[in-house]
Amino acid sequence: MFYVALLPGLLCGAAVSVVDVRERRVPRAWVAAGYVAQLVALLVWCVAANQLFTALTAVVISLGAAVLQLLLGLIRPGSLGFGDVTITLVVGLAVGAAGWFAVLYWWLAMGALGLAAIGVGARTGHDDVPFAPVITAAGVLGVALAALM
């Protein structure tokens, strides 16, 4: 039943990904709503399971992941937009609740899928690649891999 509590953040990431692919923007209102919905779902599960430390860990992981994405975007301006940083908050909250191995798998998958997306974009003649789908797909993959291991 735990993995149902992760759905709000991952579904929000999927919805934002569709907008990012179509319009090359990340709606901040959707991100805020997704973060709140994910936090509420996570807190409900944590209270029911008496696992409040999981919620604290997930919040710290999501903030840390977003700050790391922000720093990576500042190191090479134009590589990551602020929308990519904000969607990392939402997906990071869901992935962080699944544990540290899920976070590790998420970052590894983000790197691999990101390189693949850049390669596909370069082959099709597009310089800018929407990264929200990469972040979200990697999050789903990270949670799935952590569940299997």
The pLDDT tens digits of the residues spanning 28-53 come to 999 999 999 999 999 999 999 999 99
The domain total for the chain is 1
Check pLDDT > 90 for residue 10.
yes
* Best CA proximity match to 48, nearest among 99, 5, 87: 5
Quote helix, strand, coil % in the chain, to nearest 5.
85, 0, 15
Residues 6+ apart with CB under 8 A from 95: 6, 61, 102, 103, 106, 139, 142, 143
Q: Which domain holds residue 121?
A: 2-148
- The predicted model scores a pTM of 0.94
